Amino acid sequence: MGPFAVKGIPWLDELRGEPTVLIHEETAAARGIQSGDTVRVFNDHGYVVLKAVVNQGIRPDTLMLPRGPEGDDFIDGHTQSLSTIAHDEMTGNNNFNDFVCEIEKYEGGAA
């Protein structure tokens, strides 16, 4: 079942919840980020604005972003704007799931 088959069904939207980014507690503390804060994940390709969830189970040098939300599910931007059109030399595939990015507390205004 694709995402369009379940989009806009209120009880499924409630179960899915809003998109969040997982961040290690040490990484979050260094940036003044707490669970529930609105953050901006960005790089030179794009950005996405969403809520942070501080978690010990993720590596300090890694952020985990959701897969599958639609553009209007995010506060602003989209996770796919962070990826690049460059392809992996070995496989020829695009790297849609791995990219270098930074995270900061979002204060609103222009992203």
Question: Is residue 21 domain-resident?
Answer: yes
pTM score, whole prediction:
0.82
Question: Is residue 110 domain-resident?
Answer: no
Tens of pLDDT, residue by residue over 82-91, are 887 777 788 8
Question: Is residue 86 domain-resident?
Answer: yes
7: domain CATH number is 2.40.40.20
CA–centroid distance for 72 within its chain: 13
Count of structural domains, the chain = 1
What are the phi and psi torsion angles at 24 (to 5°)? Answer: -65, 150
Q: Which domain holds residue 39?
A: 3-105
Q: Is the Cβ–Cβ distance between 78 and 4 less than 8 Å? A: no
For the chain, the average pLDDT equals: 86
Q: Which helix (H) or strand (E) holds 26?
A: helix 25-30
Question: Is residue 111 domain-resident?
Answer: no
Mean pLDDT, consecutive 10-residue segments, the chain of 111 residues?
Answer: 65 82 98 98 95 96 84 87 80 78 87 54
